[in-house]
Amino acid sequence: MALGERAPWGSLTDIEKVEAGAVGFALAQSPLEEFLGEVCESWNSTHPATVRPKTRGFMAWLGGNIQNPDYAPLLDWVREHAIDHQPLGPGDTFLGPITRRSLHSIYSASKEHGVHPKRLRKLLVQAGIVHRDTTGMSDSQVVFRVEAAHHLISAAAEEIIGEDARVYLGMTRVQWDQIRKAKLIDTLFPENDETRRAYSRAELDRFLESVRYEKGEGADLVSIARAVKIAVAGYVDVVTLLRDRRLDRVSIDSSRKGFAGILVDAHEVKRKVPRPTLAGLTSRQAAQRIGVAIDTVHALTGFGVLPSSVQQMYGGGRKARLISPTDVAAFLAEYIPLPELADRLNVSFWPRHACRIMEAEGVLPVFDRGMIRTIIYRRADVLPILALVP
């Protein structure tokens, strides 16, 4: 068209050949794109070189001219088109070696990153990268853009599933449950009914590094579990102190893994754990006010004689049974325990004698001693007798 319909190629100069080629390329560009689209539709996802008869001859012709440098531009063009429309990547060969990747299939991504294809499919569907209507398609047929799923696949490749994360950190089930409820560790992906709870290995490592360190002198230190009992604190309280670097004495037992090997000063923990203002008295405090053993208070609250309520006391899920000071005062207004009665009768050195005096006057204890582990009388019954005491 540029030099005439019948211009012989051999008679053209190099410049004329370039000009003619440019014109021909411009004319063929649009039809070639359309043809490559048909070729792309005919490719099988499992192996892009396997095509239907319609384009098989074209692909065979290209494949037979790979070594011919004159075909290099066309080969490169078809190859780039294939890369943009098929899950090809470095390591694959299609009309020559593949040097980049635009698309992944579930199969290729699973193979490259070591993520189970079933797990990967669920995550991709959950993230909206892959449609739910692809459930009937094979892993090789479901394709997606690399950049759209790069972060998700990278995270999934290093994830640790539920119980394995607990073991990785060296926690008991109770400790792990408290840490999760306190949201000190976030899940890697949003949780739902289709995907399991997963955690980032890198995030778990960072969390462990923030609390597992050595500081100060290491004598007379105990495990976190032991410190929680001694300090009457919550597991989360101790972990928070460690994470914020507020403890001055921390050591590591290298023979134990993760949190199990962290050693702290229980008395320092007790001093530094914030104590909440409680809306009531603990059983121990109530026992001191009433003048009985703590076991007696436990029995009185257990049988409902002394009203109480269970409330959050410390962090990490620890709770305490609290008793209102008003209820303690009401209890003492109605009842009198044996130690107080013996003191009022001037026989505190011999409490059993107070029982004999009451028995002689026909006054019996209100509660079964075997149930509440002490002797308690009704105050109204003993007041007339106390009035006679000089």
Residue where the block lists tokens 């007696």: 296
Would you state the pLDDT for residue 176? 87
| Mean residue pLDDT across the chain | 79
Judge whether residue 124 has pLDDT over 90: no
- The whole-number average pLDDT for the span 174-181 is 85
The CA distance from 273 to 232, in Å, is 9
Q: 260 or 319: which carries more pLDDT confidence?
A: 260
> Is residue 341 predicted with pLDDT exceeding 80?
yes
Q: What is the pLDDT of residue 180?
A: 84
Confidence of residue 344 (pLDDT cuts 50, 70, 90): very high
* Cα dist from 280 to 45, 69, 287, 290, 342, whole Å: 70, 90, 13, 14, 29
Q: pLDDT value at position 29? A: 59
Least confident span in 76-85, 243-252, 327-336: 76-85
Max mean pLDDT among 139-148, 155-164, 204-213, 285-294 falls in 285-294
pLDDT reported for residue 296 = 94
Residues 231 and 273: beta-carbon distance below 8 Å: yes
Is the pLDDT at 51 greater than 50? The verdict is no
**pLDDT tens digits, 261-295:** 899 988 998 888 877 666 788 899 999 999 999 99
Contact 251, 221 (CB under 8 A): yes
* pLDDT > 90? residue 141: no
Does 387 have pLDDT greater than 80? yes
Q: How far out from the chain centre does Cα 159 lie?
A: 10
User: Which pLDDT belongs to residue 40?
Assistant: 62
Judged against a pLDDT cut of 90, whether residue 337 lies above it is answered with yes
Q: Rounded to whole angstroms, how far apart are CA atoms 222 and 269?
A: 11
Domain-by-domain residue ranges, the chain? 9-85, 103-157, 209-272, 283-386
- The first and second tokens of residue 205, run together, are 């490592």
Is residue 1 scored above 70 in pLDDT?
no
**Best-predicted range by mean pLDDT (26-40, 51-65, 260-274, 309-323):** 260-274
Least confident of 66-75, 175-184, 286-295: 66-75
Mean pLDDT, residues 171-199 taken together: 75
Q: Lowest-pLDDT range, 13-22, 23-32, 98-107, 134-143?
A: 23-32
Query: What is d(CA 212, CA 333) in angstroms, rounded to the nearest whole number?
Result: 53
**At residue 43, does pLDDT exceed 60?**
no
pLDDT band per the 50, 70, 90 thresholds, residue 98: confident
Chain mean position to CA 251: 26
11 vs 211, higher pLDDT: 211
List, in order, residues 6 or more apart from 145 with CB less than 8 Å away: 102, 103, 104
pLDDT over 60 at 192, yes or no: no
Give yes or no for residue 385 having a pLDDT over 60.
Answer: yes
More confident: 213 or 150: 213
For the segment 338-362, the average pLDDT, to the nearest whole number, is 92
- pLDDT the model gives residue 97: 80
Instruction: Provide the pLDDT confidence category of residue 232 given band limits of 50, 70 and 90.
Output: confident
Burial of 30 (0-12, 13-18, 19+ CB in 10 A): exposed
Q: Which is more confident, 237 or 3?
A: 237
Residue with token string 């012709």: 61
pLDDT of residue 169: 86
